[in-house]
Amino acid sequence: MKISRILGFCCLLLPPLASRAQAPPAALLLRPAAVFDGQDLHPGWAVLVEGTKITAAGPADQLKAPAGARTLELPGLTLLPGLIEGHSHLLLHPYNETSWNDQVLTEPLALRVARATVHAQRTLLAGFTTARDLGTEGADYADVGIKQAIDQGIIPGPRLLVATRALVATGSYGPHLAGVENLPQGAQEADGVDGLVRAVREQIGHGADVIKVYADYRWGLGGTAQPTFSQEELTLIVQTARSAGRGVVAHASTAEGMRRAVLAGVETIEHGDGGTPEVFRLMKQRGVALCPTVAATDATSQYKGWKKGQDPTPPRVADKHRAVQAARQAGVTLVMGGDVGVFAHGDNARELELLVQDYGLSPLEVLRAATSGNAQVLHLPDRGRVAPGLLADLVAVAGDPTHQVETLRQVRLVLKGGVLYRQP
């Protein structure tokens, strides 16, 4: 069945009331208690939106709305740029519901796309107006169709950057069943000069905004993580993507996989659990950011029986703590992205909360990273801040998120492109 038909069916499943967009007024003046502009908090500010853009922001007593504008009072709320999710998989759902293998091997495409439309809506209503979706995990190019449906107003969801199928070295990824050949795979297998160039170009031709490569994976003896592509192959992937104006991100959890990916010229490392101080210093030198995905590690550890706060810290969680600490000491930029899909969509704020509560970052640090920081790393100059001329992607939460990260759960208003999807 064509993706467009599937998406059309899924629209019938969406709630009809507050989650559905309203037509934007000619102008909208927002008057919250304070505005976080992507860097700093400004009590007493207001923001004027006209059409799809922010046209003014500053002290409320200095902002005058044009005739016919609607004023929306937001007492007790902080207005901030729409949050940017740095690592998601809309076509996955939590592994404690259905294992990754079973999602890839047994769930029909129509079912996966139906779930994804709901995931997109939940993401948007949680205050994340942009998401970088890093691989369909066996669902081919369905993310491109979902992105088109959102952009055309068919379904509500965040603005998407999609990676389509992702690239893996032959034999390194899954699913695997001994003695069974030609199983569906969670990503596109390719090797060598001709194969990799063709695969990168195919994904770009089908609508990839970014290329994702698995620089290592759990295919070593005993299921240990080991590098996949050679240095030359990774460099070729980056060069091919870059020539078409695309960046490359690398799944990498070993020091050697990370090192090869950084030398190849990737823009972000996803996970980075086994990173060493030397590798993180190299990342800093080369301007490569880290998306640590602490929420996914926390979730999968609990799925395996870890009773957080009662049991000893699992080795994977301890490795993540060491990696984040080493990255911060080296001055590596952090991308806010939780690998959502491993855990529930709409629970995206979990990554920010954990980085504050368990990893020692301040609420202001993670808030900056999830707005202006992610916008800079992901090459999105039209969003991530509250300033004239930028997209009117705005969220209002109860309380002050620069001091209490938990307030990001209290989303009261969501505006995307000047269109209200949620309001008090």
pLDDT at 17: 39
Whether 419 has a pLDDT exceeding 50, the answer reads yes
Helix (H, G, I), strand (E, B) or coil at 292: coil
Tens digit of each residue's pLDDT (9 = 90 or more) over 110-165: 999 999 999 999 999 999 999 999 999 999 999 999 999 999 999 999 999 999 99
Place of tokens 């996949």: 228
Q: Are residues 201 and 337 in the same domain?
A: yes
pTM for the whole structure: 0.94
Q: Are residues 416 and 288 in the same domain?
A: no
Q: Are residues 209 and 63 in the same domain?
A: no
In-domain check, residue 88: yes
Tens digit of each residue's pLDDT (9 = 90 or more) over 267-326: 999 999 999 999 999 999 999 999 999 999 999 999 999 999 999 999 999 999 999 999
* Alpha carbons 27 and 126: distance in angstroms, whole number: 24
Q: Are residues 68 and 159 in the same domain?
A: no
CB 392 within 8 A of CB 421: no
CB-based contacts of 163, cutoff 8 Å, min separation 6 = 132, 133, 134, 135, 143, 203, 208, 209, 210, 211, 212, 249
Whether 257 has a pLDDT exceeding 50, the answer reads yes
Tens digit of each residue's pLDDT (9 = 90 or more) over 83-117: 999 999 999 999 999 999 999 999 999 999 999 99
**Residue 191 is which amino acid?**
D
Both structure tokens of 97: 């519901």
In-domain check, residue 5: no
* Alpha carbons 357 and 405: distance in angstroms, whole number: 9
Total structural domains in the chain?
2
Q: What CATH number is attached to the domain comprising 389? A: 2.30.40.10
Q: Are residues 53 and 116 in the same domain?
A: no
Q: Are residues 62 and 90 in the same domain?
A: no
Q: Are residues 133 and 245 in the same domain?
A: yes
Q: Are residues 257 and 352 in the same domain?
A: yes
Q: Are residues 319 and 407 in the same domain?
A: no
Q: Are residues 410 and 331 in the same domain?
A: no
Q: Are residues 248 and 373 in the same domain?
A: yes
* Alpha carbons 347 and 291: distance in angstroms, whole number: 17
Q: What CATH number is attached to the domain comprising 103? A: 3.20.20.140
Tens digit of each residue's pLDDT (9 = 90 or more) over 319-336: 999 999 999 999 999 999
- 158-194 burial code (b ≥16 CB/10 A, e <16): bbbbbbbbbbbbeebbbbeeeeeeeeebbbbebbeee
| Parent domain of 409 | 27-82+384-422
In-domain check, residue 2: no
* Alpha carbons 368 and 36: distance in angstroms, whole number: 9
In-domain check, residue 18: no
Whether 20 has a pLDDT exceeding 70, the answer reads no
Tens digit of each residue's pLDDT (9 = 90 or more) over 350-403: 999 999 999 999 999 999 999 999 999 999 999 999 999 999 999 999 999 999
In-domain check, residue 158: yes
Q: Are strands 226-227 and 394-398 parallel, antiparallel or unpaired?
A: unpaired
Place of tokens 């997209």: 391
